[in-house]
Structure 1
Amino acid sequence: MMRSLWTAKTGMDAMQFNIDVVSHNLSNVNTNGYKRERAVFEDLLYQNLRQAGGASSQQTSLPTGLYVGTGTQVVATARNHSQGNLQRTEGSLDMAINGDGFFQIALPNGTTGYTRDGAFQVNSQGTIVTSSGYELSPAIQVPQGTTKLTIANDGTVSAIVNNDAVNPVQIGNIQTATFINPPGLESIGGNIYLETTASGAPTVGAPGTNGLGAINQGYVETSNVNATEELINMIQAQRAFELNSKAVTTTDQMLAKLTQM
């Protein structure tokens, strides 16, 4: 019976972690470009008390074995990179990738980050940056006197300077990146991912080519979290936690009976 106490304990730990993941999803329901996560579980080591196929006599063998599991554990958080809804903002620097791909961000430590959050701004030097001040890569400089900024579906950025609509100036090209295994990217917060061995190396190109999604100016991609679905997941995790807690209580009652005999 002591085994059941520890087995139920692993179930309670796993369900607590599951609720942590669901809570994190719900807290980011309004985060631009956020991709929901789910906890992945696996069963723990089994105790082999009777080997299947073992000899039961000189002429016969056991058709089944006797195995006792020791519980469960969390092994991963799988991120769902499905497309979020595109929300119209009409902001000239707001961009959404309609399809696969990530914007490339130059991080202060010299590495490249990747994001689906297309709510960009311009800093004091006229460089296009994220809300945290990180530069879009390759860097794009908006000239002084720009009265209108146009971003084409293929990432071409053009500016109308000093209301000269006849001679728009092309100031840069936005390139996006895709990965063979996006769930393998490392999340570091701030809506930014990092390349890992599991994600594979990025494939960089112009939006709308080679499987990369096109850029839509004046839109941002919203979170792909479904609040109703997450609430259901939370209820299921809560009930599973209660059931494991009940197993602990039941085992305790059985042990109490034994001590009274």
Structure 2
Amino acid sequence: MPFNIGLSGLNSAQADLQTTGNNVSNAGTTGFKRSRAEFGDVFAQSFGGVSQTATGGGSRLLDVSQQFSQGRMEFTENGLDLAIDGEGFFMVSDEGGNYYTRAGEFQVDRDGYLVNNQGQRLQGFEPDDPGSTDTGFNTGASDDLRLQTGASTPQATSEIEALVNLQSDAPVLDPDDFDFEEPESYNFSTSLTVYDSLGTARDAQIYFQKTGSQEWNAHARISNGTDDDGNPQFLDSDPIPLEFNGSGQLTSDPEEPFTFTGLFNDADPLEINFDFAGTTQYGGDFAVNDLGQNGFASGRLTGVDIDSSGVVFARFTNGQSSVLGQVAMANFRNPQGLEQLGNNLWAETFAAGDRTLDAPGSGNLGEIQAGALEASNVDIAQELVNLITAQRNFQANAQTISTADQVTQTIINIR
């Protein structure tokens, strides 16, 4: 019996050494969670025996329990490195199977998908409106997160906002004499760039002609390539009347957009609404206080940003951004019940409980820290102390077997 007790103690100490050694070997593994060997005593009592005088039968390993405490953040220079600050797991997929990990070392594969170092694709939620940066997400179903690697879609100019001051003492000119090519036929002008439906940039000029004491006409001209002889061509608008009151405030503003047709590159007609709200007629000099439009050209992908809620933004050379998706985050009622698969992966089990899948930062889920990785939660100093303790336990149980052997030899030698 003493031999079995000592042997059980050796096995327990050996399991403790192996568990601690595994923790130490993974001290540098991203997202690793340390384990703890948990033991119980072996106590056998026969039916009708006296418990007060029964001796124990040794020890045995009950469980190797995973400890899901937070690891420290280690910041990197890679924007696709992701760390979870709080509870939850990244979900990755491999040929339809789902796995869970705390290791956020992601990269882009040849097809544009976000993958880990084993080629498994990070799961996320698709945006309801990819063209908007204020979109919701379909959190009812997850899919592979993919980065848009092509050019972004251009947007044709549909509105021009012009906030100017038209000099009140400017001379009145004959509207019938207006000519884009004759500077004497208008009082002031300004210019900006607009874009057609193909993203082609076009020069746009706005000319202002005073036609009465408090009346003006605005004329717009948009470049339209060149003719066969290389002469520049233009598309012109009709006069846009502007009227002011005695305080210099604008009292009229165009209500219908003007359509420019016949664009040289067969782009869709440009329907542009001219917004002169805020334009004044004061005694000061002509001044352009604000001039803008809402179109833009196509753009190439320059970078990807991921915010704390897991929303993936793509940035393009045209200054625009688009939402590509949102990182999905999973959690379980009992994370310690997950099955360890190696390679920083866990799998679902019945013991882990039901899986919940939602956006980072919602409910009890942690937030995303981009450009960082979660280090192992192994405390080397504590593990080294545990190694010493497990070694002492092993030596003590070996001594138990040695002592039992000496006692047995003494009994055998009795004559």
TM-score scaled by length of structure 2: 0.57
Instruction: Work out the CA distance in 1 between the residues paired with 2:318 and 2:58.
Output: 70
The aligned counterpart of 1:20 is 18
1:118-146 deviation digits (Å, cap 9, x = unpaired):
11111111100011110011311112242
| 1:8-42 Cα deviation digits (max 9, x unpaired) | 00110111111111111001000000000011111
Alignment of 1:164 with 2:325, yes or no, is no
> Please, which moves more after superposition, 251-260 or 186-195?
251-260
Letter in 1 for 2:37: A
Letter in 2 for 1:189: G
Consecutive unaligned residues of structure 2, counting only runs of 5 or more, are: 124-142, 150-299
**Aligned equivalent of 1:149, options 304, 317, 320:** 304
AA aligned to 1:43 is D
* Residue 234 of structure 1: aligned partner: 387
Q: Which residue of 2 aligns with 1:35?
A: 33
Residue 117 of structure 1: aligned partner: 103
SS at match of 2:7: helix
What's the offset of the Cα at 1:47? 3.1
* Counterparts of 1:100 and 1:228, CA distance in 2: 25
Where is the helix percentage greater, Structure 1 or Structure 2?
Answer: 1
**In the aligned structure 2, how far is the partner of 1:128 from the partner of 1:74?**
40
User: Is 1:139 the counterpart of 2:144 in the alignment?
Assistant: yes
User: Alignment identity in percent?
Assistant: 34
3-state SS, counterpart of residue 5 of structure 1: helix
Instruction: Provide the secondary structure at the position in 2 that maps to 1:69.
Output: coil
- Give the equivalent residue in structure 2 for 1:84: 71
Distance 1:185 1:125 in 2: 31
The CA distance in 2 between the partners of 1:112 and 1:66, in whole Å, is 53
Q: Which runs of 5+ in 1 are unaligned?
A: 53-63
Secondary structure of 1:73's match?
strand
1:107 aligns with 2:112: no
Is this contact kept in 2: 1:44–1:70, CA < 8 A? yes
Q: Distance in 2 between matches of 1:249 and 1:51?
A: 29
* Structure 1 residue 50, shift from structure 2 partner: 6.8
> Which of 129, 132, 138 is the equivalent residue of 2:115?
129
Separation in structure 1 between the aligned mates of residue 94 and residue 32 of structure 2, nearest angstrom: 19
Q: SS of the residue aligned with 1:65?
A: helix
Q: Which amino acid aligns with 2:117?
A: S
- Aligned residues: CA RMSD: 1.4
Find the residue that maps to 1:170 and give its secondary structure. strand
Report SS of the residue matched to 1:150: strand
Whether the aligned pair in 2 keeps the contact of 1:49 and 1:67 (CA below 8 Å) is no
Whether the aligned pair in 2 keeps the contact of 1:177 and 1:205 (CA below 8 Å) is yes
Distance (Å, rounded) in 1 between the aligned partners of 2:17 and 2:24: 10
Equivalent residue for 1:249? Answer: 402
Say which of 214, 219, 242 aligns to 2:372: 219
Which runs of 4 or more aligned residues in structure 1 lie more than 6 Å from their structure 2 counterparts after TM superposition? none
Aligned to 2:352: 199
User: Offset of 1:48 from its aligned partner?
Assistant: 4.0
Distance 1:67 1:50, change over 3 A: farther
- After superposition, the C-alpha distances for 1:98-123 in whole angstroms (9 at most, x for unaligned) are 11110001023x22111000111111
User: Which residue of the partner structure matches residue 161 of structure 2?
Assistant: none
CA distance in 2 between partners of 1:65 and 1:225 (Å):
42
Superimposed CA distance per residue, residues 214-248 of structure 1 (whole angstroms, 9 cap, x where no aligned partner) = 10110100000000101111111110010000001
Give the conservation status (yes or no) of the 8 Å contact 1:98–1:214. yes
Matches within 5 A, 1:55-66: 65-66=52-53
Question: How many Å apart are 1:211 and its aligned residue?
Answer: 1.1
Q: In structure 2, how many angstroms separate the alpha carbons of the residues matched to 1:50 and 1:236?
A: 38
Number of the residue aligned with 1:60: none
SS at match of 1:11: helix
The alignment covers a number of residue pairs equal to 245
